[in-house]
Amino acid sequence: MLLHLSTWIEVEDYLTRSQGLIIPIGSTEQHGPTGLIGTDAICAEAIARGVGDVTHALVAPTINVGMALHHTAFPGSVSLRPSTLILVISDYLTCWVRSGFSKFFFINGHGGNISTLKAAFAETYAVLADRNIANADQVQCRLANWFTCSSVYKLAKELYAHEEGSHATPSEVAVTQYLYPDAIKQATLASEVASGHPTYGAIDFRRRYPDGRMGSNPALATPEHGKQFYDLAVQELSHAYLEFLNQT
């Protein structure tokens, strides 16, 4: 059940059965020569919808822009500052808490969002308490990164070993290929790929990682692999969501 394709009457009825909401969040950033700029949001959205179908949960509209400032020297990338993203998350959740939601399960597709999301959760708890919003003490937020699911991680290592890398990875590219086979990109990738450098500003990042990849070989990706990753992530995160709902 998708929030943006529902009426307020349907949402009100849903809230009589569950106070849980699944929120996909990703990023709009470069993913190397062959990865789609929307990769992180595309993967998070599809997997969140899959989890929603399995668990009969309501799925919120995808937050497509995240914290990706270090990618913005590559054309097409766009980012929110950490402080902005914290405010966005806090405003979203405050509205939904007023509606009656209390369990927020974020399915995340971008590693750069992790620290900011954790800060946003802490900010939200404080805002709700300061405003004396009803049931503020019942609100819980959970961060679930699909790419760190144990089953996903295990398969990625089996298929790609060290060539999985840490950005523009074959696993995430494979999921987009499964979802959008007509958008598969081809390019000749250099055999040498940068890895292991620290992350600072955008210009420095592009200098250290000139083609956008971080130790990865996305040429190994296939749509068939993508379906495997998708199925594993949906299965594992469905269990995690239901456990979260039952947590006191």
Residue 66 has a pLDDT of 98
Per-residue confidence (pLDDT) for residue 56, from 0 to 100:
98
In 52-211, at which residue ranges do the beta strands (DSSP E only) sit?
58-59, 103-108, 140-145
Judged on CB neighbours under 10 Å (0-12, 13-18, 19+), 208 is middle
Tally of CA atoms within 13 A in the half-sphere of 45 that contains its CB: 17
Contact (CB, 8 A) for 1 and 56: yes
Give helix then strand counts, H and E, for the chain: 8, 4
Tokens of 41: 């949001």
Separation between Cα atoms, residue 23 and residue 10, nearest integer Å:
18
Residue 242's pLDDT is what? Answer: 98
pLDDT at position 248: 82
**Tokens read off for 158:** 């089996």
Say what the pLDDT of residue 161 is.
98
Helices (H), 114-149: 114-130
Contacts of residue 223, Cβ cutoff 8 Å, sequence gap at least 6? 174, 177, 178, 181, 184
Handedness of CA 167, 171, 175, 180 (dihedral sign): positive
**Radius of gyration of the CA atoms of the chain, in A:** 18
pLDDT for position 206: 98
**Token digits for 213?**
């990849």
Instruction: Specify the pTM.
Output: 0.97
Per-residue pLDDT of the chain (248 residues), as tens digits, is 999 999 999 999 999 999 999 999 999 999 999 999 999 999 999 999 999 999 999 999 999 999 999 999 999 999 999 999 999 999 999 999 999 999 999 999 999 999 999 999 999 999 999 999 989 999 999 999 999 999 999 999 999 999 999 999 999 999 999 999 999 999 999 989 999 999 999 999 999 999 999 999 999 999 999 999 999 999 999 999 999 999 98
Question: Among 203, 156, 174, 227, which Cα is nearest to 34's?
Answer: 174
CA dist 199 and 131 (Å) reads: 37
Domains present along the chain, CATH in parentheses: 3-246 (3.40.50.10310)
Residue located via tokens 């955008």: 202
Residue 155 · residue 172 · CB < 8 Å:
no
